[in-house]
Amino acid sequence: MKREVDLFIFDLDGTLSDSKKDLALAINHTLHTYGFDPMPEEEIASLIGKGISKLLTSFSDGDRESNYKTFRTYLEYLENHLLDSTTPFPGVTETLARITKKKAVVTNKLLNQAEKVLTGLGLTPFIDLVVGSDVTARIKPDPAPVLYALERFGVDPSRVVMVGDTPDDILAAVHANVIPCGVTYGFGSREDLLDAGAQILIERFPEIQNYFQ
C-alpha cells in the first residue's frame, strides 16, 4: 500500500544526478594541488558516501585555515566543471515530471552550484525549493536543512519523505522525523543506509512511485 505524502525531499549528487566522475576529478585536482597522489574514481566514490567534507578534511592539515583552503580549491574547480559529465540518473526526469506533490532538493552543495546543476540537467521546472549548504547554519547529517524545507511548506513531518543515497541523508531524515528512503545506486552502501535508519531502499529512482503518492 502506497503512503500518502505532501512533500518529497531529494538529495542531489548520487540521488538525482550521476556526478561521480565530475566530483572525482574535483577531488583529485585538490589532492594534486596539495601534493597528494590521485585516487581511483571508485575509491573516491566509496569515500564520498561517507561525506565529502570528511574526505576533504582528511588530507588537510586539520586546522581551520587549512580546511578552508582545501574546500576553496575543491569548490573553485568544481564551479567550472559542474556539468562536464554529470547527467540525471535513468528515470529521474520522467519520474519527477509525474510526481504532482511538492518537491524540494536538500543538498550539501552550495546553493548556486546546485541550482546550476538542476538547470543544466533540465530538472528546475520540477523542483519547488532548493536548500543548499549555505542556506542553513548546519548541513546534513544535521536535520537543519530538512527542517527548513518543512517550515517553508508548512507540512507535517510524518507526511514527508527524504530520498538520498548516503547515511548523511538518512540521518538528517531520521532526526527531522521524516520518512527515510535510501537509493542503492549512489555513493552510499546498502549496509550503511540501513544502519543509518533507512526504512525503504530502492534500486532505481522510478521505484519511488511504488511506495509513495
Domains of the chain from N-terminus onward: 7-19+86-210 (3.40.50.1000), 20-79 (1.10.150)
pTM strictly above 0.75: yes
Q: What pLDDT band is residue 71 in, cutting at 50, 70 and 90?
A: confident
**Which residues touch 26 (CB under 8 Å, ≥6 apart)?**
74, 77, 78, 81
Are residues 118 and 93 in contact, defined by beta-carbon separation less than 8 angstroms? no
Output 199 or 66, whichever has higher pLDDT.
Answer: 199
pLDDT at 175: 98
How does 100-114 read in b/e, with b if 16+ C-beta sit within 10 Å?
ebbbbbbbbbbeebb
Rounded to whole angstroms, the Cα distance separating 139 from 41 reads: 25
Give the residue carrying C-alpha cell 582528511: 58
* Cα angle 160, 170, 173; round to 5: 35
Q: What pLDDT band is residue 36 in, cutting at 50, 70 and 90?
A: confident
Which residues are marked as active site? 11
Rounded to whole angstroms, the Cα distance separating 149 from 95 reads: 21
pLDDT average, residue stretch 119-145: 97
Is the pLDDT score of 158 beyond 90? yes
pLDDT at 166: 96
* Cα angle 14, 162, 206; round to 5: 60
Q: What pLDDT band is residue 62 in, cutting at 50, 70 and 90?
A: low
Rounded to whole angstroms, the Cα distance separating 117 from 201 reads: 25
Q: What pLDDT band is residue 60 in, cutting at 50, 70 and 90?
A: low
Q: What pLDDT band is residue 21 in, cutting at 50, 70 and 90?
A: very high
Is the pLDDT score of 26 beyond 80? yes
Give the residue carrying C-alpha cell 556539468: 83
Give, for 26, the enclosing helix (H) or strand (E): helix 20-33
Are residues 199 and 164 in contact, defined by beta-carbon separation less than 8 angstroms? no
CA atoms within 13 A on the CB side of 68: 3
Is the pLDDT score of 187 beyond 70? yes
Q: Which residues pair with 10 in a beta bridge?
A: 105, 163
Beta strands in the chain (DSSP E): 7-10, 17-18, 87-88, 102-106, 129-131, 160-164, 179-183, 200-202
Q: What is the DSSP letter of 84?
A: S
